[in-house]
Amino acid sequence: MGTGMTGMQEVRIRPGRPSDGRALVRLLASQGMATDVDPVDFIMAEVNGRLLGAARLAWVGTDDAFLRPIVVATEARGAGLGRALLERLFAVCSSISVIARGDAVPFYRRLGFTAMDWSSVPSEYRDECECCDDLAQCRPMSMRWNIKDEGASAAGELMSCPRRLNE
């Protein structure tokens, strides 16, 4: 469990709702992330009724799902919320890409993400990273998760991630 999460009781992964807007903006802002978002595009991680994590997919073209963003409150890190959010996405997607901050690469590797060529990242996402003042400290790595070969029958059912996670 992460610092501050002792006594955690109920973790719930659920669709975002319009009423999550203020809490989601606070969570994103606390991590220096963009806050111009629609909460219904996210899945939420709630602990004892508090919104402590969220994830959203964005698409480039028709099938390339990118994790943009995933966020977990500082006090909840290490408690499994990021893993729970991604496992929910793994259940509905055959592949997911992410530009991982360097310090998050071990987390993504543990979940089965592997490095992918930086040139395969859509130019708008590459440009966003390459223009960032935090680039040297961030050390971003492009990574992709693909459903395992042993799950090929499930992949046939999934085909691609839903455009809206809450449909």
Specify the CATH architecture of the domain 11-158. 3-Layer(aba) Sandwich (3.40)
Which ranges of the chain would DSSP assign to H, the alpha helix?
21-30, 81-90, 105-110, 123-130, 135-138, 152-158
d(CA 119, CA 115): 12
Phi, psi dihedrals of residue 46, rounded to the nearest 5°: -115, 135
d(CA 76, CA 54): 12
**Strand pairing category for 11-15 and 95-100:** unpaired
* Identity of the residue numbered 7: G
At residue 82, the pLDDT reads 95
pLDDT along the chain (167 residues), means of 10: 50 95 96 91 94 91 81 93 94 89 91 92 80 76 77 43 57
At residue 162, the pLDDT reads 59
At residue 122, the pLDDT reads 83
At residue 159, the pLDDT reads 42
Residues 6+ apart with CB under 8 A from 85: 13, 43, 45, 53, 54, 55, 70, 72
pTM, to two decimals: 0.82
At residue 87, the pLDDT reads 93
